[in-house]
Amino acid sequence: MSGDPAGVVALRRRLAAWLRSEGYTSDPRIVAAFAAVPRHWFLRSFYLPGDPSFAPVRFDPADPDPDLLRAVYTNQALVTRLEKGVPVSSSSEPAVMAVMLEALAAAPGERVLEVGTGTGYNAALLAFLVGVEGRVVSLDISEAVASEAAGALQEGGFHQVEVHAADGRAGWPGQAPYDRIIVTAASRLHRAWVGQLRDGGTLVLPFAVEPGSAPILGLRREGVRLHGRFGLYAHFMPLRGDPVCCRRGAALPLTPASQPGLDGTDLADLWDIGLFLALELPRSFAWVLAPDGLRVPAIRTEGGTAAWAPGALLTAGRRPPVQTLAWLLERWTRLGRPRLGDYVAEAWVGRPPPAPPARMWLLPGDPAISLHLA
């Protein structure tokens, strides 16, 4: 890797300091990784957020445009590849990366499996964390993405990373077992990952609970049991080949319902209400667009749509399920209005839970994950 462009060290350090000051990580090793590993090195072209033309910007990491360089070292995801107009690869938002790396807690000398190589930037951060005695195996289903990332990693001196073009759902048994496994695309749990994770190891993934969001879930394996909690709401591209529905918010002619909204709720409750509705009625849940453009959680049936918005219930159609929505919101209140961190996740390999809690939600996967309130 050639010498850093002017000012890039300061930009890296500023980003790392921001991640620490905003509470996305308190681990000094992760802060040091973001301060040391050059994000710009892993970019050749990307799409600027908010650019109405959505045209790719060519980027030379050896001689970058100063304005683009500053954009690279801000807390924003950068889409790097499209297929048929749909984003299929990106450099994730650094804040989300920091949260996932802290949950993973990779230590020097450990072996890590990464599913979803992307640009290779996250693999380089992992290489920094495991050190020269550690090993990172990174998989991407796209041969073009894997090849470009592998080249950048080797040229950058991250020789403890090996990249393979492969379907990440199968893992990489040749280097198993792994101390840590990290998945960088929205997915369900897959049996190969569990089988390749050592006892006592940690698996972190954006779990595709419902269409439109994938909260970060950290699971620790103890024998045949995996357990953990969610850490952060996030949005990720779906793991390619995974049967996860990722519908976009639908624009509907929503109007205020005659029934009042739920008292004491506001915009801060949006994601928690959405998660609860998705758990209760997964086949009917959807995100829809309110008249003001806000994406809001809703229940959709053949008769119509009923949605929650701050201060109101919204409906569309001839027979919207507004009573069902109101009942579910009351139920959420009776349960204490649970937040993301209130759910405990468990998965059992080869057998069901020994004593299921009275209130449990079962999420599909292999193995399935059960959720209950702490």
Euclidean distance between CA atoms 314 and 298, whole angstroms: 9
Task: Render pLDDT for 138-147 as a digit per residue (tens, 0 to 9).
Answer: 999 999 999 9
Beta strands per DSSP E along 110-196: 111-115, 135-140, 161-165, 178-183
Overall average pLDDT of the 330-358 stretch: 87
C-beta neighbour count of 17 within 10 angstroms: 13
- Report which of residues 238 and 179 the model is more confident about: 179
Place of tokens 């060519």: 58
**Per-residue confidence band for 264, with pLDDT thresholds at 50, 70 and 90:** confident
Percent of the chain clearing pLDDT 90 (strictly above): 72
Query: Is domain 5-235 annotated with CATH 2.60.34.10?
Result: no
Backbone angles phi, psi at 149, to 5 degrees: -65, -40
- Report which of residues 214 and 33 the model is more confident about: 33
Q: What is the pLDDT of residue 113?
A: 99
- The catalytic residue among 89, 90, 91, 138 is 91
User: CB burial class (10 A; 0-12, 13-18, 19+) of residue 176?
Assistant: middle
Q: Is the pLDDT of residue 354 over 80?
A: no
- Report which of residues 92 and 260 the model is more confident about: 92
Q: Is the pLDDT of residue 188 over 80?
A: yes
Q: What is the pLDDT of residue 167?
A: 96
Q: What is the pLDDT of residue 226?
A: 96
- Report which of residues 85 and 338 the model is more confident about: 338
Q: What is the pTM of this model?
A: 0.92
Euclidean distance between CA atoms 322 and 202, whole angstroms: 41
**Per-residue confidence band for 1, with pLDDT thresholds at 50, 70 and 90:** low
**Per-residue confidence band for 362, with pLDDT thresholds at 50, 70 and 90:** confident
Q: Is the pLDDT of residue 334 over 90?
A: yes
Indicate the average pLDDT of the chain.
91
142 in catalytic set: no
User: CB burial class (10 A; 0-12, 13-18, 19+) of residue 235?
Assistant: middle
Q: What is the pLDDT of residue 235?
A: 79
C-beta neighbour count of 335 within 10 angstroms: 12
Please report, for residues 72, 194, 244, 278, 318, the alpha-carbon distance to residue 298 in angstroms, rounded to integers and kept in the order given: 35, 33, 19, 9, 16
Q: What is the pLDDT of residue 154?
A: 97
Percent of the chain clearing pLDDT 70 (strictly above): 93
Both tokens assigned to 117: 């190589």
CA-nearest of 231, 143, 246 to 188 is 246
Q: Which residues contact 299 (CB under 8 A, 6 or more apart)?
A: 277, 281, 284, 285, 286, 305, 306, 307, 321, 324, 325, 328
Task: Render pLDDT for 67-109 as a digit per residue (tens, 0 to 9).
Answer: 999 999 999 999 998 877 777 888 999 999 999 999 999 999 9
